[in-house]
Structure 1
Amino acid sequence: MSRKPPLEGIRVLDLSRVLVGPFCTMVLGDLGAEVIKVERPGVGDETRTWGPPWINEELKVSAYFISTNRNKKSITVNLATEEGREIIYGLAKISDVVIENFRPGVAKKLGVDYEAISKINPRIVYCSISGFGQTGPYRDWPAYDIIIQAMGGWMGITGEPGRPPVRIGVALTDMIAGLYAVIAILAALRAREETGRGQYIDISLLDSSISFMSYMAHNYLATGKNPVKMGSGHPNIAPYQAFKAGDGRWIILAVANDRIWRRFCEAAGLQHLVDDPRFATNSKRVENRDQLIPIIEELIASRPSHEWVKLFIGAGVPCAPVYQMSDIFSDPQVLHREMLLEVEHPKLGKMKQIGFPIKFSETPCQLKYPPPLLGEHTEEVLRELLGYTDEQIKSLREKGVI
């Protein structure tokens, strides 16, 4: 059995920052790629200072930064200097992948765009990630997650009817685009095996988010009607939403078909509703949800949440408590699946990390490196990969290149 992770031997030059690019490169690093994160001297990725909460305020290590930067080496390089660009060119020559998430046109101004890098290394897979893509009337617009959640459809369908738009509580649009970037990079590396050439990849947060609209978009395309906000409810299934139990905690019921409906009614003591013509089929339950939901709300409020969860799970009815983070990371299933890991940091001690969602039988993911300190590996990379001498490195530091 091979214990090497699947991307061992692939080198990624990471010019990205904040979330979407770092999330992408973290996944590649988890899969075994060597990731070299390039940061600004003295400043670094701005998320290092996005605290509190802090892992270490003195060293400017925020909880936000460590969430997406494990399994990377950090080097500091001033891309605005000629000698800084030479370092990037040297690394690009021996790398397989370059990733950047500058606003369109910035990489070209810095001299590190695909055109420049592919001349140095025609086998390079170069991925640009931006809010709206490298083309189109909005290409130069600034974008953060909330902007894309607004324009990508998420905030138009999330929240309670008649209430203001609601942002999903995590920067989902960045991570969706980051995952699409991973998929595209892996596909381009596979294509390179056939062609011998790399290629350019253009990933847009807006495009990625729209693709995740899935059935909500197709409901509109089929009917011409905009989906409405339904809180935790579902436009095509009922009951399929959150209910408040008698202890004040919320549970989720997912009665996704008529067989589950029958089991639900029997477990809940609602046998008289099984064949009620208003509720006997899912389409009727959706049509008459305004009559159905108050009945279930009153019922669920009569007992504490843990009793309902135990009862419904035992009856084969999909049901779950609504978790807080403290619930998640003490849950036996989560711990059994090793979704909470620890890594030793040379200056910060033991550091907790989210585990790997991908479980390989032969080539497991590995947590090799904790999130790096700013420039922690600059000298190592310059010496070992590019052959710089101690004198050259000292000179670069004195000139502010690294």
Structure 2
Amino acid sequence: MNTPRLPLDDIRIIAVEQYGAGPWGSLHLADLGAEVIKIEDPGAGGDVGRYVPPYAEDEDSLFFEVFNRNKRSLSLDLATPAGRSVFEDLVRVSDVVYSNLRGDVPAKIGITYDDLKHLNPRIVCCSLSGFGMTGPRVAEPGYDYVLQGLLGWMDVTGEPDGPPTKSGLSMVDYSAGFIAAISLLAGVHAARRDGVGMDCDVSLFDTALALLNYPAAWHLNAGYQPHRTRRSSHPSLVPFQLFEAADAWIVVGCPKEKFWQRLTGVVGRPEWAHDPRFATFADRERNRVELLGLLEPLFHTRSAADWLADLHAAGVPCGPVNSIPDALADPHTAARGMLVETEHPRYGRLRLPSTAVRVGGEPRPSRRAPRRNEDFGHVLTEVVGLTDTRISELVDAGAFGPPAEVPGLPDRYREARQP
């Protein structure tokens, strides 16, 4: 009987990654079966995500766990000749070098396609940076919070009379991770088809700008001025926003004309469906203030649960404004298998949100994030094929950091170094 294979179990990725955006992209690839080998800088104590508070102790953090399931870890000092030698051995047997460093760094440390193609003509070098590998901002560090301000996201988020507001989640980071994963897979496909690898230059800047989408198109072509809207309402579809019920907030939307017609019945005003002020998308947008002035007091009259029951029954798009704990406890969360469990030597049983990738029916792996340098033996012997003698030489040469400080170093290499 053949063992079922995961979709990406024939792809090996060397991930010079840290923090959020980069690890988020490769997490999805690891969930699909790719072998993701994290290269962690021993001089920095590895991925900075290992130390993110508040739930962190020594080199273990819940932040790190949620971004790095199903991956492997190797401490490697790329600045040393010995460390570079190991890295180049890995390039020869891998499909991708994936990084999320500042845009000018891949070229400086020699991990672009031109730097590595002599080792492996099919290697795909995917860089995810703040501002990309070209342009006037190439040397600037880029972080989600900064990009949400720079690219106009904060200017259109929040109440009109309030301050600019950041999204409650790191959506630039997460979206850029998705774009990097898509770009990386496209690169691997082309390299296998054509026999030639390439650079993939992905950035938070490009991602955040692309996601401006139709408001940007309206501005560029029709002079529209994007702005914050009251109660998070849609800029053109009315009604589609938050409404305050007697006891809680709910979201109600009419993105099709049929939903508006149904809503008029739910709120007890069926005549509004044919009222010339509100009959079409354009009519309701033009008379937004008047319509919402009529609707909002109606929603105050009943509980959120009562409104949602009637709206669901009528087939009107709607939902509660849940807290994150509410969302995690929603029955649909469990039904969709969106919480995974891992066993951790410090934390014991961990429950974590899953990724949303679903390809075929095979169960996805659920292995905890690696301790720093945990996969030293696997990577060097099984992946690269080094002998114990060669590994001992590399340890002595500082390939993995100061020899006395290499975490997870098997005893036989420590013993070999004893005078």
Q: TM-score, normalised by structure 2?
A: 0.90
Q: CA deviation at 1:397?
A: 4.3
SS in 2 for 1:216: helix
Match of 1:268 in 2: 267
Q: How does 1:184-333 map to 2 (within 5 A)?
A: 184-230=183-229, 231-247=231-247, 249-333=248-332
Question: Residue type matched to 2:99 in 1?
Answer: E
Instruction: Give the letter for the 1:5 counterpart.
Output: L
Does the residue aligned with 1:274 lie in a helix, a strand or coil?
Answer: helix
How high is the TM-score relative to the length of structure 1? 0.93
Whole-angstrom distance in 2 between the partners of 1:141 and 1:102 = 11
Superposed CA deviations along residues 180-224 of structure 1, whole A, max 9, x for unmatched, are 111111111221232111111111211112111111111212311
Q: Which residue of 1 aligns with 2:42?
A: 41
Change in 2 beyond 3 A, CA 1:195/1:365: farther
Percentage of matched positions with identical amino acids = 38
Structure 1 residue ranges without an equivalent (≥5): none
Match of residue 403 from structure 2: none
Report if the CA contact (8 A) 1:37-1:72 is conserved.
yes
Aligned mates of 1:365, 1:98 — CA distance in 2: 27
* Match in the other structure for 1:382: 380
Partners in 1 of 2:225 and 2:337 — Cα distance? Answer: 41
Give distance in 2, aligned partners of 1:41 and 1:138: 28
18 and 342 in structure 1: CA distance in 2 versus 1, 3 angstrom threshold? same
For 2:346 and 2:382, how far apart are their aligned partners in 1?
23
Equivalent residue, structure 2, for 1:19? 20
CA contact (8 A) 1:358 1:365 kept: no
Counterpart residue number, 2:53: 51
Cα distance in 2 between the residues matched to 1:159 and 1:38: 39
Amino acid at match of 2:364: Q
1:370 matched to 2:368: yes
Structure 2 partner of 1:338: 337
After TM superposition, the structure 1 stretch with the greater mean CA deviation from structure 2, 282-291 or 268-277, is 268-277
| Distance (whole Å) between structure 2 residues aligned to residue 393 and residue 124 of structure 1 | 25
Deviation at 1:399, TM superposition (A): 5.2
Q: Distance in 1 between matches of 2:386 and 2:260?
A: 69
Partner SS for 1:328? helix
Map of 1:125 onto structure 2: 124
Gaps of 5+ in 2: 401-419
Matched with 2:151 is: 152
Gap change, CA 1:287 and 1:87, over 3 Å in 2 = same
* DSSP 3-state at the match of 1:67: helix
Q: Pairwise mapping of residues 67-146 of structure 1 onto structure 2 (< 5 A)?
A: 67-146=66-145
| Aligned-partner residue type, residue 233 of structure 1 | S
> How far apart are 1:115 and its partner, in Å?
2.1
Q: Deviations over 1:23-47 (max 9, x none)?
A: 1111111111000001022611111
Residue equivalent to 1:7: 8
The change in CA–CA distance for 1:188 and 1:365 in structure 2 (over 3 A counts) is farther
Structure 2 Cα separation of the partners of residues 312 and 48 of structure 1 = 45
CA distance in 2, matches of 1:93, 1:289: 61
Paired residue type of 1:374: R
Distance 2:390 2:195 in 1: 35
Does 2:212 match 1:183?
no
- CA pair 361-110 structure 1, distance change in 2 beyond 3 A: closer
